[in-house]
Amino acid sequence: MQGRLLGLAALAIAGSISSCSSPPPPEARLSDSIVLTKHAPDASFGSYHTFFIRPEIRVLADGESADSIEDRYAAILLAETTQNLLARGYEQVDVKADAELAVEMVYVRSVNSGTACYSWWDAYYWGYPGWAYYPYYGCTSTAWRVGTLATMIVDLTPARNEAGGDADGGAPDSAAGAAGAAPREKLLGMIWFGGVYGVETGYTESNVDRARHGIEQAFAQSPYLVTSP
Amino acid sequence: MKPTQSVRLIALLSSLAGAASAQTVPAPASPAAAPPAPVLAPAAAPAPVAAPAPVAAPVPVAAPAPVAAPAPVAPSTEPALVPVPPRPDPTNSNRPRRFLVGAAWNVAFPVGSVHDFTNATSALGFEFLVRYFALPQLSIGASTDFQTFIATRPRTTYPIENGAVTATAYNSVQSAAVRASVHYYFLKDGPVLPYAGGNIGVSWSTFQSAAADLAIYDNQTSILLGGDLGALFPLQNSSLTLMTALRYSALPSAEFLEVSDVQSLTLQFGLLTL
């Protein structure tokens, strides 16, 4: 009788353990290529018409000086992004001051802290030193991971309007800065984020091709990213 | 999922099933189930035969040797039997009512809308159950069971708040349920007792769709309705009974993303004891 009960107990324990299995952990799930896109909830993409794309892809890493992806690889990815924006009706401009949208691509090589990304942004590059920008969803988001190729679109219209530039287009009440800005804080809003995860650090042809397909997918899953005629 | 655990369970149940195939009628658990063992009455020792007295003189015949007390009358060739209670007839409706308690390994197949969410057959199920024979061919019972469905879905784009994610998703449904059941047995006795039954209960389900480190999940509570066809295989000279059954279950109120309800077909392999 005792052996019988032990047998039943063993069967029960084995079954109970197996019944509680779960999907693979996040680390295993990240081994596959993933494309994430997010947009600012109040963004009006149809109100923008021009963009300027930064002609380099910075490599971001905590505690290290910024480097850039080799031009021969970066050119492929920048061209892919540009072509998608043109296909959505936006006009590429050659002068930053003429652009309503700033487009920047970065590659995240290492992340050691959840707040590192606040130091990654280079508002001076765009010619508006008094303005800051960072992802509206913050640096603690799961968006920033090692091996991520990120494409960001920033609304420059508040800074342009303050500087007396073209007042056409842009988000309403743009002079007040982006939504979420502190009082009197001049904050540019990052209105779109496209992240391609699982891009290896080795810049091989296959990795670049994987990243290129990721960019294509990011636009494909963002049908709202289109200008109005 | 642990394939080795499944293999071991299959091996265990297969060996038990093999043993069952050689068995016949189940032995009731009561002590009366044993064949009535003849019990010898306290037999008297054979009375010693008195040696004939030497004839020395014509004397009167020697008195018979002392004889033991008269033994109880008994057939000369068979020992005496003590009356024992009659063996209960398994077909007798007055046979002792009994409980069956045990566990089952459940292999489930999702059907209906949940099949599009997790389409993989799940061997990750287990159940504890008890049945009480209210009538010789009718039992009522209760059970609690656990089942996990996990499937890797093709690379798909999923909407998230203010965005979307394209990834290979790992979808899962983990459910626990308590059921009240009734079963009718088509035969009163025999090596195989087929049955049909129904059950009703409550189920708690946790749905999760995970891609990368993004996970969407929800907990749902639903009424549970089900029916099953199966058979018991009582083992002779043992209180163990094997069980196998096919059960249909429906959770009409369990909803998540594109899942409007959860239905499943479950193959059960159980081991019960009296």
DSSP string, A174-197: GGG-STTPPTT--EEEEEEEEEEE
Q: Flag if A14 and B166 touch (Cβ within 8 Å).
A: no
Q: Which residues in chain B touch residue A19, judged by CB atoms under 8 angstroms apart?
A: 124-126, 146-148, 174
- Report the percentage of chain A scoring pLDDT > 70: 60
Q: How far is A164 from chain B (nearest CA, A)?
A: 32
- The average pLDDT across B142-160 equals 88
Q: Flag if B125 and A21 touch (Cβ within 8 Å).
A: no
Q: For residue range A147-163, what is the model confidence (pLDDT) as tens digits?
A: 788 899 999 988 888 77
Q: Which of B9, B126, B129, B237 to mutate to test the interface with A (most CBs of A within 10 A)?
A: B126
Beta bridge partners of B183: B139, B197
Q: How far apart are CA A68 and CA A104, in angstroms?
A: 12
- Compare B226 and A180 and report the one with higher pLDDT: B226
Q: Flag if A8 and B105 touch (Cβ within 8 Å).
A: no
- The average pLDDT across B11-17 equals 38
Contact at 8 Å (CB) between A125 and A56?
no
**pLDDT, position A55:** 95
Residue B162 has pLDDT above 70, yes or no: yes
What tokens appear for A58 in the block? 């910075």
- The average pLDDT across A192-221 equals 83
Q: How far apart are CA A171 and CA A160, in angstroms?
A: 12
Q: Which of A23-32, A35-44, A94-103, B259-268 has the lowest mean pLDDT?
A: A23-32
Please state, rounded to an integer, the average pLDDT across all residues of chain A. Answer: 77
Q: CA nearest A154: which of A116, A218, A105, A107?
A: A105
Contact at 8 Å (CB) between A51 and A153?
yes
Residue B270 has pLDDT above 90, yes or no: yes
Residue of A20, A37, A197 lying closest to B164 (CB–CB): A37
- Is the complex ipTM higher than 0.85? no
- Report the percentage of chain B scoring pLDDT > 90: 36
Q: For residue range A59-115, what is the model confidence (pLDDT) as tens digits?
A: 877 666 668 888 988 999 999 999 999 999 999 999 998 999 999 998 887 666 555
**pLDDT, position B57:** 42
Contact at 8 Å (CB) between A81 and A210?
no
Q: Which amino acid is at B80?
A: A
At residue B46 the predicted structure's pLDDT band, cuts being 50, 70 and 90, is very low
Q: How far apart are CA B134 and CA B240, in angstroms?
A: 20
Q: Flag if A18 and B211 touch (Cβ within 8 Å).
A: no
Residue of B124, B125, B213 lying closest to A30 (CB–CB): B213
Residues of B with CB under 8 A from a CB of A: 1-2, 5-6, 8-9, 12, 102-103, 105, 123-128, 146-148, 150, 155, 157, 160, 162-168, 170-172, 174, 208, 210-214, 239-240, 271, 273
